[in-house]
Amino acid sequence: MGIRGPLHPEEDYQATPLGSSGKPCNLHRHTHWPIRNIKHDSMFCMTIIKWSCFFFLSYLKEEPRLDVLINNAGIFQCPYMKTEDGFEMQFGVNHLGHFLLTNLLLGLLKNSAPSRIVVVSSKLYKYGEINFEDLNSEISYNKSFCYSRSKLANILFARELARRLEGTGVTVNSLHPGIVRTNLGRYVNIPLLAKPLFNLVSWAFFKTPLEGAKTSVYLASSPDVEGVSGKYFGDCKEEELLPKAMDDLVARKLWDISEVMVGLLK
């Protein structure tokens, strides 16, 4: 987690073009700020609750304010496994970890308003469903479905949080970063003979990490989206959602159950 603080006058910055539109993303003014890291490690993937509390307390000790929170942790189509908290790994890391950490930091975000929360989702949310009878995949597990479900949960969480934060000066938006060349797909098994072709395709068509981060940075810093909340973006543009991602009743039920699962409500 990089922590930045202003030390020098601001300078204008404009992102390079994204997507097929050819239009640049107008980002917030760029400043040469130092970055200081708060220690974190793979403990997040194993102990969601302990890591979130650890980060929260560490941050409070070091920082008096929080202007932007970007929820970007993720795991993709892993074999069935659980965190030490007992959560199915994809639902735990991709949704519950973000849910808990954001709620712990809400007081600081409100006190720092105007502030922003950005939730990284995926277009694969379209293939997910929220099955409240088996959120932890105890009955059945399909790694692709469970990833899509966690990404749908990201959007429902962001929309419900935006509703709850109306009038506070804190905005919440979610996004699809695109297909990015990272190690997120390390659990995807590609046949040995197909790997050269896959590598060629990824280098030709996948986004670089810098390109993949641009919509997150745009939502975190651009004056273009000042005051915008509860929306979903791709390539720095607002996109329409499927009806299931705009179901307020499901979003509220998911919120209530998530509160119980992470121990915010008993």
Say if CB 123 and CB 176 are below 8 A apart.
yes
Q: Please indicate whether residue 13 is annotated as part of the active site.
A: no
What is the four-CA torsion angle of 179, 219, 214, 178, rounded to 10 degrees?
A: 10
Tell me the CA distances in angstroms from 83 to 43, 59, 98, 100, 180, one per residue in order. Answer: 10, 23, 14, 15, 25
CA-CA distance, 81 to 100, in Å (whole number)? 20
CA dist 52 and 173 (Å) reads 21
- With CA atoms as reference, report the closest residue to 207 among 188, 234, 173: 234
Rounded distance between C-alpha atoms, residue 193 and residue 133, angstroms: 40
Strand 232-234 vs strand 237-238: parallel, antiparallel, or unpaired?
antiparallel
Residue 241 to residue 224: CA distance in whole angstroms? 20
Which residue's entry shows tokens 């993720």? Answer: 74
CA angle (15 as vertex; 4, 123 as ends), nearest 5: 90
Q: Is 224 left (phi over 0), alpha (psi -120 to 50) or beta?
A: alpha
- Of 147, 187, 218, 232, which is the active-site residue? 147
Q: Provide the annotated active-site residues.
A: 147
